[in-house]
Amino acid sequence: MLKINLGKIRLSMDIPPPPPPPSTSPKSRKKLFAILAVILIAIILIPSVLVFSGALNFDKNNPQATPTPGPSATNPPVTTTPTSQTNHNVINIASGAKTPVASQSIDSAGGTIQVTDASSLLNGLKIVVPEAATSEPIQFQVSYSDISDVSGLPQNTAVASKLISIETSGSDSFNKYKMFEEPVRVTLPYNANEQNDDNNSVRFYWYDSQTNALDSAGFLSEDKTAHTITFLTGSFSDFVAVRTMLNITGSMLGIDATVDTGFRPARDGWFIPNHGSYLWNTTTNASTTNGFCLGMVSYAKWYYSDIATGLHSKYLQGNLTEWRDDATAIQLAARAHLATSGIWAALTQEETDWATANAREVALSWISGMIVTGEPQLIGLKTVLNNGTWLPGGHAIMTYAYHDGVFEIYDPNYPASLPGNTMREIPFTYSMGFNQTYISGLTRNDAMAFNIFYHAGSKLSATPSDYRGLYDSAEKGFKDNNLFPTVTLTDTTTNPTGTTPTDTDKDGVRDTTDSKVTISGTITGGVSQINSTLLWVDNQKYTAAVVNGVFSKEVPLMPGDNDVVVLATADDTFNNWAGFIGY
């Protein structure tokens, strides 16, 4: 008698097929582990792309510097219990009545709001909304207020501007998250009497009065003569400039600054690596096949800052040493990335327009951001060749500390990396700038040397309310709004009927006397069509076509126990993950 046992799937990240299960006592039967239901991710995403600055001369065939390779991305899960606490500087800003400055409606054609009155305290303010950033008229209200009191700012920092309020209003749909579809270029003025040099770095931050937190607006360029800072954003709020006093010295490093936000990838980053997912949306042409790094790092930043430590040990399902059965985590990362798909699509097309800041300006912006907010800072990576050619795609990472001339990096391609891993560091000194490329990839599956670094503001990612909604749904396993189709095995007892062997003696093991069996099933629901799935029998891989939601595949059974795994993904089990759950 041959038997098929439906059980939990165990997979290895080191090789495409799953490894055998723990050894069992010899029996004269054939035993298969399979999936009763496979959940397929169907997310609307684009290749994650960011814009960056601080270029190095670089030829892709001859990188100037390549760090020593670090450890593999295969890491055991960290079982640290999440600590329910926020991890950002608690800052309270009290301000007076608002003084209106400008009011204007901008529709899908785009437009510019600008203050040119030399007598205005907001002279130099400019908001450039590109075409197609919104599909409806959006009303802008610009005002400022005097700051009467500030508490919670770190030592050696000080407010350097008015509290500048930029409010937007549109339809109920727009007002839910108030996110634009393309990045909006914003130039804001800081106090004309402020000293802004490398010893006194001025940057803008957006203020969240609900969480009493400042978060970096990012950095594109600065005009020290006009006393303005320019950055890109996807949404608006209250903004304030803060001056951070840094000690630029004549030492070898050239800068006497050490900052550590407390974030640690092995505790606070994702357990899953950035391998992307399976489907794409034909309406928006947005895809997850090139990874979802932006969703991963921006959500990890939000979770660490506003919820708790310990993201690494959350959403572990099935085998706790494997990532491919963590369906909730993969859907969460993909949907977090989805939230800003339009913005990053636009940045991909306009990359050469905004890589204008020099290495010092970018690095000092990262350092200042960590000091002022107490949070990790988002970094975008791109590659430009010596002949000026920009390579396609980009990658998103975070810096969580700076010390001894290096930025410590969380890279979603390499989960659980530790501080001191030279592959996950970006060296910077005041005198030399960024003196080597950063080696990673668009996803975990490829390799690329990046030489353009940019400080991305958190408002280029999803809003806190959007992340809160995703978090609440993920806590329930997305049962309230799952985007996955369901895959079910079919046999003679199901409707429709199928050819998968049944459990004839009710012992939890499916039985057959054949040396070959045909595994069959259906795929229902979801938002995109699935065309194929993978099956393994004792580490031998087979591909089954999915036609009109139905699949079947004849597979051989070997003498003794057999493991059978059904997994919907690309042909190498890493690219274009489609997910699964096990019983």
255 is written with which tokens?
Answer: 């800068």
* Residue 553 amino acid letter: K
Give which of 548, 485, 528, 487 is closest to 280, Cα–Cα: 528
422-438 pLDDT, tens digit each: 999 999 988 888 989 99
Give the residue from 241, 125, 249, 101 showing the smallest Cα distance to 184: 125
Whether omega before 496 lies within 30 degrees of 0, making that bond cis, reads: yes
Task: Determine the average pLDDT of the residues in 63-80.
Answer: 35
- Mean pLDDT, rounded, for 79-88: 56
Higher pLDDT, 277 or 236: 236
- Give the pLDDT of residue 287: 55
| pLDDT per position as a tens digit, 510-564 | 788 788 899 898 877 766 667 777 776 766 778 888 888 898 999 888 776 666 6
Of the ranges 48-52, 173-177, 395-399, 557-561, which is most confident?
395-399
Contact between 221 and 360 under an 8 Å Cβ cutoff? The reply is no
CATH number of 92-249: 2.60.220.30
Select the more confidently predicted residue: 78 or 537.
537
CA–CA separation, 52 vs 558, rounded Å?
54
Whether the per-residue pLDDT at 255 is higher than 90: the answer is no
Q: Give the per-residue pLDDT at 60.
A: 30
Q: Is the pTM of this model over 0.85?
A: no
Higher-scoring residue by pLDDT: 110, 20: 110
Which of the two residues, 566 and 263, has the higher pLDDT score?
263
Supply the pLDDT for residue 223. 94
Residue keyed to tokens 């259906």: 522
Task: Identify the pLDDT of residue 49.
Answer: 27
DSSP states of 374-395: SS-EEEEEE-B-TTSPBPS--E
Task: Return the pLDDT at 59.
Answer: 33
Give the confidence band of 40 by pLDDT, cuts at 50, 70, 90.
very low
Q: Which DSSP string do the residues of 474-492 spell out, in sequence order?
A: HHTTT-SS----EEEE--T
Bigger pLDDT: 463 vs 121: 121
- Taking alpha carbons only, the member of 155, 307, 176 closest to residue 244 is 155
Domain locations along the chain:
2-40+484-567, 92-249
User: Of 153 and 13, which is predicted with more confidence?
Assistant: 153
Secondary structure, 3-state, 126-156: EEEECCCCCCCCEEEEEEEECEEEEECCCCC
Do the beta carbons of residue 202 and residue 243 sit within 8 Å?
yes
Model confidence at 211: pLDDT above 70: yes
pLDDT for 121-173, tens place per residue? 999 999 999 998 999 999 999 999 999 999 999 999 999 999 999 999 999 98
Strand partners, 434: 428
Give me the pLDDT at residue 111, please: 97
**Percentage with pLDDT > 90 across the chain:** 42
Q: Does position 359 have pLDDT exceeding 50, yes or no?
A: yes
Does the pLDDT of residue 119 top 90, yes or no?
Answer: yes
Where is pLDDT greater, at 364 or 26? 364
Most confident stretch, 115-124, 447-456, 484-493: 115-124
pLDDT of residue 149: 95
Return the structure tokens found at 477: 């396993």
| Mean pLDDT for all residues in the chain | 78
Q: Give yes or no for residue 22 having a pLDDT over 80.
A: no
Distances (CA, A) of 129 to 55, 101, 104, 230, 454: 27, 18, 12, 14, 21
In angstroms, rounded to a whole number, what is the distance separating the alpha carbons of residues 522 and 527? 15
Burial 104-136 (b: 16+ CB within 10 A, else e): eebeeeebebebeeeeebbbbbbbbbbeebbee
Higher-pLDDT residue of 190 and 82 is: 190
Per-residue confidence (pLDDT) for residue 282, from 0 to 100: 43
Ramachandran class of 538: left when φ > 0, alpha when ψ lies in -120 to 50, beta otherwise = left
When pLDDT is cut at 50, 70 and 90, the band that residue 240 belongs to is: very high
